[in-house]
Chains A and B, each alone.
Chain A
Amino acid sequence: MSSMTNMKQMEQKLQKADRKQSRLYLFCNFMALMIISAYSALMLSPTVQKVFPKGGDSAKQMYMIFVMTLVGCVVFTIYALGLFFRHKSGQLGILMALGASRRRLAPGLYREVIFLSGVSAIAGTAAGFPFVQVIWQSFRLFLVDSSDMVLTFDFRCLFVSLLFLFFVVGFACLTAWRYLKKTNIMEVIREEHINEPVKEPGRWCGPVGVLVLLAGAVMGYQAPGAWHAWFSAYPPAWAGVFYAPVFPGLYMVMLHTVVHGWKSHRKNPYKNIISRSMMKFQGRQTVNNMLVITLLVAGGCFAVFYVPINAISALISYASQPFDYFYNYQADQKAPEREEVEALGREYGLSFKDWKACEYVTLGIGGNAVIEEEDGRSYHIEYVEMKSEAIVFSEDAYRELTGQEVDVEPGTYFNLTNEEESTLFTNESARGFTNMVTRTQLATRFAGYLHFDLLVDLNRDCCVLDNEDYALISEGLTDDWRGYFVRFNVDGEDSYPFANAFYHRFVSSFDASCERPSYYDRVQKIQENEAGKVYWGDTDDMTTISYDMSDSFMFRNFWVYQPDFRILNQNDYARNMGVMFMMFLFIFLVCMITAMVVCYTRCQSIAINNRYIFDDLKKLGASPAFLDREVRSQCGSVFKVPSLVGTSAMFLLFSMILYANDGRIIGTEWAAIGACLCITAAIGGVIYTVYRFAVKVIKGQLGIIYVRK
């Protein structure tokens, strides 16, 4: 006798029989939710938020890739749901044909989709937290650890996950409702076998797509600069729209891949006709999936290239710096004297040589400044007498400190830049300097550049004056506007413990007046206060620097008197940049995992949708070698083209950025490009491994037994 006597029992039995499809849907949803939940948890965690400067480029990149991943996951879950319903519709259609009304089918169907989508979404959201913990702790254990890297969560991130969760469940219910609403029962029954062919474009589609894509990339990249030049205004947020051609270009490339492929068919036009036809008839979904995979691979590469591009140039510059220890302090601070430093060195078995301490002053410097209009968007360039702070040396002090010969004519100044003359802070337009205590002014003109890497990137101009001019303008300055630069080398091998101890002793010698970041400008503050305004640096959170956190990312990167101790910088670089680098590494992992899951699922649907064709081909006498080639050909298109486009687009973009910085690519940048190339090769290896695995699984599902020799 039958154990199944009512609708509920029948639905349960059918659901049990369909567990393979349900598992695929559960898996896809779970992965999407886990990834979004993990990404938002880390992105919005206080650990990351306090390191990524608000409104900074890195933060923007992090949010941009998040949006991309979110879009990818949305498309992916919709696709997974489509796969689930393609199978389910056959069942629904049969039951409708046998007289089950929508009212009768609705409770069971809604129960099933709410259960599947709800459970997978809740489990995925919950799994996001352990997932991010495991990866982050692995980073801390195996790669880099610091006090900055202690992971804490702000559970407001759940808001993002919950929104996505509601979307997944809501969309599943909406799809169920749409199926139940269909009046053509035959359409519901045949849904599983309905193809989604794409309109066949000409063979021009791919090459034109590449051109459109490149045009979009160049236009998008150049648009902000052109906006500045043409309108003397900050580009509006919508200027990103100039990147828009990238998407149709990408679509055309993928469409060409699906419809024509990139190999010439002239010699043997029938060679890939079957696999190409199969792809064409599921073209719409294939192209959509390939677009998502491309974006995710591109996002992953963007994130992972960030690390070598930043790290290699920094590490190379540390290695090439001319002094082991280079630091400065305000004259009113009690920084360790030479005797004290030498005594500390002896404790670590070190002796020093090349010791020099040279005086400098901080003055107001004139120059062309960007003056914002009242609308806050447009601006004009205007010369102002006190543009910002400048560190100023006499020619003797500079000669002594750097060992460089310099002769400055009275009434002129030299400006400091690096060897490549590529730094942000250079000033050729100053017509004078101002003593901020006595308000005496010294008229000057630009005489040229001097090159000394350790005196650039201080977030302020650095200049050299004639000795007499220097004496004149610095007369009457109080100690808080005076200071000393000190440099020395270790006689023999340096010691990290010493550098670390000296660093902490150095920091502790400063009082609260120096607890400020390097971009805090005292000249601007005085002017703002005199005009009855509050200086932005006194209000913004970004300026918060604390002696209590002298090993934090913020302090080490932004303290105004942060010293350059070579061995300390080299050893602590990864630790100082840890949160930022690990966040980008995490983004890379998330993007690549998502991309590979989408690739694998797409390949799975090739097996599900084309099973009949493969069976027919077998009946028509196709050899296992032929079937093997067909599977490889289709999976290959799904994996290879998006990966190739995604990685090369990002590689070209980064190369373009490096080139556009100063119109050339310098030594350290070549090294970074080389590292990116190696990473690209490694990514290619991983993708190939997943591709091999997917092919193996699909061949198993289609019953193709063939081992390539």
Chain B
Amino acid sequence: MLYVKELYKSYETGKNKYEVLKGIDFHVPLGEFVAVMGPSGSGKTTLLNCISCYIPFDKGNIRLGGMELAGMNEDELARVRNTKIGFVFQDFMLLDGLTVRENILVPRIVQGEVEQEAEKLADQLAAMFGIVPILNKYPAEISGGEKQRAAVARSLINNPLIILADEPTGNLDSKSSRAVIETFIHAKQKMDATIFMVTHDSFSASFCDRVILLKDGSIYRQLEKREERSVFQDRLLDAIKEMSE
């Protein structure tokens, strides 16, 4: 479903050039919940931003649902972002001037007219993620956890091929973090959603089917979950410890 092949990305600051991604290769099949972990500066967010076409990359291929992203023009990329990708940001990125329901519907509005069917879907997602009581509230009136659940609902409104989440629990307390992760699991189970999540948090990552460990712009190791969540978390922590040695 998502193929990333030989992906390179560098940043230039003045005369200095920093290679952030150095030939990343991986594949995410449909319905998998994958986490990317790694220390600061390892290239996690850059990888996510390249996949979501938010930033251009230097070299390599990204194929999403059979479509090659590298050669696409601006309009085509926008269409991919709108219909094939759902994005969840660390700081929610809800529009302050819109209610929660309206925020959930934004990707549909961007697509064209909102019909009753979309509004019904928004309500269903809200019910699924436990945010019905706040549907008519504005972002300033709700908690961080509620904002993130609304953002997850927004990411699903167009039935995307994949949800890309950048540190979705980074700004939340443990209770809210758990609630957000549960929304992902819910989406995976009920909607067969594919989720690709960048996180620092081993607890959140331990809910995933697979964890990709990134170090200095390259894949250090990939861990698949074959055991209980808590045991997987311990194995994950050991791998992280090993990576930082």
Contact = CB atoms under 8 A, between A and B. Distances in A.
Contacts of A6: 109, 112-114
Interface string A156-192: 0000000000000000000000000001111001000
A101 B109 contact: no
Given A184-B56, A186-B54, A17 B97 contact: yes
User: Residue among B78, B83, B111, B119 with the most chain A CB within 10 A?
Assistant: B78
A14 B98 contact: yes
B134 to A, nearest CB: 15
Nearest to A189: B93
A94 B93 CA distance: 7
A603 B158 CA distance: 43
A539 interface: no
Given A10-B106, A97-B52, A98-B107, A4 B98 contact: yes
Interface string B106-133: 1101111111100100100000000000
A232 interface: no
User: Residue among B49, B102, B109 with the most chain A CB within 10 A?
Assistant: B109
Nearest to A193: B91
Contact of A94 (B95, B112, B119): B95
Given A2-B101, A17-B97, A99 B83 contact: yes
User: Residue among A2, A6, A16 with the most chain B CB within 10 A?
Assistant: A2
A14 B139 CA distance: 13
A101 B55 contact: no
Given A4-B105, A99-B83, A104 B78 contact: yes
A102 B74 contact: yes
Contacts of B93: 94, 97, 189
A630 to B, nearest CB: 25
A5 interface: yes
A571 to B, nearest CB: 63
Contacts of B83: 99
> Chain A: interface residue count, which band?
20 to 34
Contacts of A99: 78-83, 85, 107, 110-111, 158
B114 A100 contact: no
B96 interface: yes
B82 A98 contact: yes
Interface string A75-105: 0000000000000000100111111111110
B110 A104 contact: yes
B78 A5 contact: no
B98 A5 contact: no
Given A2-B119, A100-B82, A13 B101 contact: no
Contact of A96 (B78, B80, B97, B105): B78
Interface in B47-79: 49, 52-56, 74-75, 78-79
Given A10-B106, A98-B87, A103-B75, A5 B114 contact: yes
Contacts of A94: 93, 95, 106
A18 B99 CA distance: 14
B55 A185 contact: yes
A13 B78 contact: no
Contacts of B106: 10, 94-95, 98
Contact of A98 (B49, B81, B97, B114): B81
Interface in B111-163: 111-116, 119, 122, 154, 158
A7 B54 contact: no
A531 interface: no
A101 B105 CA distance: 17
A184 B98 contact: no
Contact of B78 (A4, A18, A100): A100
Nearest to A103: B75
Given A183-B56, A184-B54, A18 B87 contact: no
A620 interface: no
Contacts of B53: 185
A196 to B, nearest CB: 15
Nearest to B120: A1
A97 B87 contact: yes
Contacts of A184: 54-56
Nearest to B98: A13
B102 A101 contact: no
A6 B105 CA distance: 10
Contacts of B112: 6
A102 B98 CA distance: 21
Contact of B98 (A7, A10, A97, A186): A10
A197 to B, nearest CB: 14
B98 to A, nearest CB: 6
A104 B56 CA distance: 20
Contacts of B80: 99
A191 to B, nearest CB: 13
Nearest to A183: B56
Interface string A1-36: 110111100100110111000000000000000000
User: Residue among B54, B75, B83, B101 with the most chain A CB within 10 A?
Assistant: B54
Contacts of A1: 116, 119
Interface of A: 1-2, 4-7, 10, 13-14, 16-18, 91, 94-104, 183-186, 189
28 contacts: A1-B116, A2-B101, A2-B114, A4-B114, A5-B115, A6-B109, A6-B114, A10-B102, A10-B106, A10-B109, A17-B96, A17-B97, A17-B98, A94-B106, A97-B52, A97-B54, A97-B87, A98-B81, A98-B106, A98-B107, A98-B110, A99-B81, A99-B82, A101-B78, A102-B74, A103-B75, A185-B53, A185-B55
Given A4-B102, A98-B107, A98-B110, 20 more contacts: A2-B114, A2-B119, A4-B109, A6-B112, A6-B114, A13-B98, A14-B95, A14-B97, A94-B93, A96-B81, A97-B52, A97-B87, A97-B93, A98-B82, A98-B106, A99-B80, A99-B82, A99-B83, A101-B74, A186-B55
Interface of B: 49, 52-56, 74-75, 78-83, 85, 87, 89, 93, 95-99, 101-102, 105-107, 109-116, 119, 122, 154, 158
